[in-house]
Amino acid sequence: MSAIQSPPQRVWWKQPLDRVEGTWIVIAFVWCMVMFFMMPYWHVYGKQNLSNEAYRSTPEAFLAKAQAMVDKHTVRTVTEQNIPVVHPVPGADVYLVARLWQWWPVLELEEGQTYRLHIMSTDWLHGFSLQPENINIQVHPGYEHVVTMTPTKEGTYSIICNEYCGINHHTMASKLYVVKPKKQ
Amino acid sequence: MAVNRNFRTCPSTGLVYHEPAEALIRWNAVAGVVSLLVGGVLALLVTLTRWPAVRLLPPDWFYLVLTAHGLDMLVFWIIFFEIAVLYFAASTLLKCRLATPKVAWVAFWLMIVGAITNNVAVFKGDSSVMFTSYVPMGAHPLFYLGLILFAVGALVACFVFFGTLVVGKSEKTYNGSIPLVTFGAVTAAIIAVFTIAAGAIILIPTFMWSVGLVSHIDSLMYRTVWWAFGHSSQQINVAAHVSVWYAIAAIVFGAKPMSEKVSRTAFVLYILFLQLASAHHLLADPGLTSNWKIFNTSYAMYLAVLASMVHGLTVPGAIEVAQREKGFNKGLFEWLRKAPWGNPSFSGMFMSLVGFGFLGGISGVMMGTEQLNLIIHNTIYVPGHFHATVVVGTTLAFMALTYFLIPTLFRRELMFPAMAKWQTYVYGLGMMGFSVFMMGAGTLGVPRRHWDMAFSGAVLPHEFPGTAYLMMGLMAVSGILATVGGAMFLINTVGSVFLGKKIQTPGFARVSVKDGMAPAPTPEFAAPAVPAVHGSIGIGGFVAPGTFVLAMVFLTSFILYYFVNWKYLSTVWPLK
């Protein structure tokens, strides 16, 4: 009987498998198991995993920490709006504020050094998208997400917002500079 | 009260329609097609705006139109059509009366009112919050109210469907088990019920928040619960369009499932695992542990993927067996070469299957892998994926089914049969190109839901490489091709339904049945007691060797693409 009619056998689960189906199910299942183990495997042996470290916070508390960092580590300002460029000490906690429609401040990091990047939104949902690396992380209001990040190559990168956040979403872009480590 | 017990038999297909059910199937299908028309016009506007060389609309209009496009297509078009499929799978395929047609009409009008309310809220301009409507970005209360009304209507319709199954069972309108297509529809309806429940859990508080009765909704909580609704609702589509594949294989080829056990078990896997797999939308979010993310996505998603991989084999496999039994038994692919490629029901269904598997399936697994998600999340790759699954997969399958329904359900001849022959190709290929180029642009980092990839007006703009612009241009050209294909479909179906030549029905039989009774089940053509042993067909003990070869091609592409992405991931900055 066809698929739009009742099966010939009253009890459908007694119908045997076809050989082609049995073979394919085994192959497909093995492949699903490979994919199943890839994620835990990468957690142990891979270098790119998203952090579990996140804290509940408030816009005031987060802005205060970002301001403290800006006050201490600003090296210059860019654009007519005088956006501070911050060059924090390698290994330090770095704060990046996402808000309508800006990333603040601009970060300058050293190649090969590791930073604890704290990202939070102070208003709506935003998307942290680092280009052209193409690393993409969701940014929530009220959740301070700590990502430990190691820039591998010097250059000028862009941070763009890729979570729709209103009419000027397309202007929410910023830079991230990666420079050679300073001679001590 | 005996009026509502009228049945008619379609002379060309032998299908039995319960007349109140028939009216409901028609009206739900028509409401779906009207939504498709609105959504299609909006699709063209969205495409022309995202084409960097054209950038048709200003940003406020773009976001408004994108919101309406998402809702009209993903919710209203697809769910109206699915309700029609549910009524068809229950009442027509079981040859029984539809339970409570009056309640079904209430459901229909609730859905209509909900859809209009929601559209009004969006077009007023203060609810451009996208399909996902993430809080704390807020929409007008009518936006949420419209969705809630629509969902309640859809839920009621699901219960009418379940009631119809009970009617069929108790009035013994069929023998033994329900047909496979109905079984698939049951899967879709079960997923729909818990999906709508999840939707209620999140949309009702959000509605109260929008009118000021709730002061705060946590953004992470919203996303978590919203996706239990948002992703599962797309799984209703998967179950529904897979059922449609089986239905078309049966209608066009008289194909029977190779094994009822395998196909039905695969549907059961959808019910068991799809809901949990929704967790893969939260892979880039803070506040959820990797254990939680991996646990929910890995085992649940892969068992659901397994189910799709099984259907991907059994549907063409059933067609191959049917074709070989008809004598197209030479070589690996004679069955496929000699398939009716000029029949839009078949060509649409087959492209839906291939596009859904190769483009939608593989890219979906990619995005659902915790670490790989990092290089794709929220880029235009994501709409690339879901246009492959929902548009090539579901919409094209529904279009294919429509070509079958016009003569049998609407009793009209197709107005432009030659156009129908081409339509599925124009639409299918346009849409596949659209999806592929979106994925290409997404791999280069182009964001989704973004008015201008050149960042005009930004203080520190980013410059995408020329390839990204090329990809977006090709995407737009393919999108226009798909819109042409969509217009061909709409012109043909709307024209045929209202102006097409009425099919003369000499064999038309209207059977009045006594109140509370259903027609005796017509004896189905004599089935062998034991399923046929396909001893004489196939190659090397495989009844469907061609399908198996295609499946291995699929698997090879899958494995290659999967590991290429891991390789790419390993080159980005180390993160932890």
Evaluate whether B437 touches B390 at the Cβ level (below 8 Å).
no
Where helices occur in B357-465 by DSSP H, the ranges are 362-367, 381-386, 396-408, 417-443
A10 to chain B, any CB pair closer than 8 A? The answer is yes
Q: How far apart are the C-alpha atoms of B311 and B554, rounded to whole Å? A: 13
With CB atoms and an 8 Å threshold, state whether A36 touches B299. yes
Q: In chain B, which among 541-570 make CB contacts under 8 A with chain A?
A: 541-545, 547-548, 551, 555, 558-559, 562, 566, 569-570
Pick B522 or B95 by higher pLDDT: B95
Residue B306 has its nearest CB partner, among A32, A106, A165, at: A32
Q: Look up residue A30 and give its two tokens.
A: 């093995």
Evaluate whether B446 touches B476 at the Cβ level (below 8 Å).
no
- Average pLDDT value for residue range B174-191: 93
SS3 category, A94: strand
Q: Look up residue A43 and give its two tokens.
A: 């957690």
B249 to chain A, any CB pair closer than 8 A? The answer is yes
B165-168 long-range Cβ contacts below 8 angstroms, 24+ apart: B165/B90, B165/B94, B166/B99, B167/B96, B167/B97, B167/B98, B167/B99, B167/B518, B168/B90, B168/B94, B168/B95, B168/B96, B168/B518
CA distances from B1 to B4, B6, B147, B170, B516 (A): 7, 11, 35, 19, 10
Beta strands in B53-198 (DSSP E): none
Provide the terminal-to-terminal Cα distance of chain A, rounded to the nearest Å.
81
Best of B63, B178, B206, B260 to disrupt the A interface (most A CBs within 10 Å) is B260
Each residue's pLDDT tens digit, B413-434: 999 999 999 999 999 999 999 9
Q: Which residues contact B227 (CB under 8 A, 6 or more apart)?
A: B278, B279, B281, B282
Task: Kindly tell me if the per-residue pLDDT of B146 is higher than 50.
Answer: yes
How far does Cα A88 stand from its chain's mean position? 21
With CB atoms and an 8 Å threshold, state whether B137 touches A125. yes
Q: How far apart are the C-alpha atoms of B467 and A105, rounded to whole Å? A: 30
- Nearest Cα residue to B15 out of B189, B251, B252, B210: B251
The predicted structure's pLDDT at residue B7: 81
B471 to chain A, any CB pair closer than 8 A? The answer is no
Q: How far apart are the C-alpha atoms of A50 and A70, rounded to whole Å? A: 26
Each residue's pLDDT tens digit, B471-521: 999 999 999 999 999 999 999 999 999 999 988 765 555 555 444 444 444
How far does Cα B142 stand from its chain's mean position? 26
CA angle A9, A15, A19 (to 5 degrees): 145
Report the DSSP beta bridge partners of residue A127: A138
Q: In chain B, which among 424-463 make CB contacts under 8 A with chain A?
A: 443-445, 447-453, 455-463
Residue B302 has its nearest CB partner, among A35, A132, A142, at: A35
Residue B181 has its nearest CB partner, among A4, A137, A161, at: A4
The reported pTM is: 0.94
Task: Kindly tell me if the per-residue pLDDT of B533 is higher than 90.
Answer: no
B178 to chain A, any CB pair closer than 8 A? The answer is yes
Q: How far apart are the C-alpha atoms of A11 and B35, rounded to whole Å? A: 41
Each residue's pLDDT tens digit, A61-104: 999 999 999 999 999 999 999 999 999 999 999 999 999 999 99
Print burial letters for A79-88: b (CB count within 10 Å at least 16), e (below 16): eeeebbbbbb
Q: Which residues contact A84 (CB under 8 A, 6 or more apart)?
A: A70, A74, A76, A77, A105, A106
